[in-house]
Amino acid sequence: MLSGLLAFIGRVMLALIFIISGAMKLSDISGTGTYMASVGLPTEMALPVAILEVVGGLMIVFGVFTRLTALAFAAFCLLTALLFHRETADPMQAAMAFKNIAIAGGFLCLFAYDQKSWSFDSYRTRKRREAEARLAPTSDHAATGAG
């Protein structure tokens, strides 16, 4: 029980930075686009990235397609480090790059251990097993030939 609660709290903590960052990007899409253009990316990517951060963050919090979302966010973090924090001679940029690498590591752990407690994924799995159990013949009937 405690590990499930801690996994949920960990998911929330990993997701918060994306939910907040995405909301801030949405509140200033033109500024976000300008910043993206400064590293050679199209300004049109600002809105999809902001939506990805908010929606993906909420998916992690609620445990919806957790493994797939965690893998996508790990890649996102690594790309962010490579595209936006390349100047590692600058201590602030180096810290930001390593922060993104560390967060990517957290998402890879979430992917690898697939902790489903307190999640929609767990609910969906439980419902699928219950449906399979209702459809499967019981062992008593099959063994005795009763019907």
Cα gap 63→13, rounded to integer Å: 13
Query: Number of folded domains in the chain?
Result: 1
| 49 falls within a domain | yes
Residue 41: domain span: 2-134
Q: What is the pLDDT along the chain (147 residues), one digit of tens a residue?
A: 788 888 889 899 999 999 999 999 999 999 999 999 999 999 999 999 999 999 999 999 998 999 999 999 999 999 999 999 999 899 999 999 999 999 999 999 999 886 667 788 888 888 888 888 888 876 555 555 555
3-state SS class at 34: helix
| 50 falls within a domain | yes
| 55 falls within a domain | yes
Q: For 104-127, b where at least 16 C-beta lie within 10 A, e where not — what string?
A: bebbbebbeeebbbbbebeeeeee
| pTM confidence score | 0.81
| CA 28 vs CA 13, 46, 47: distances in Å | 24, 9, 10
| 147 falls within a domain | no
| 145 falls within a domain | no
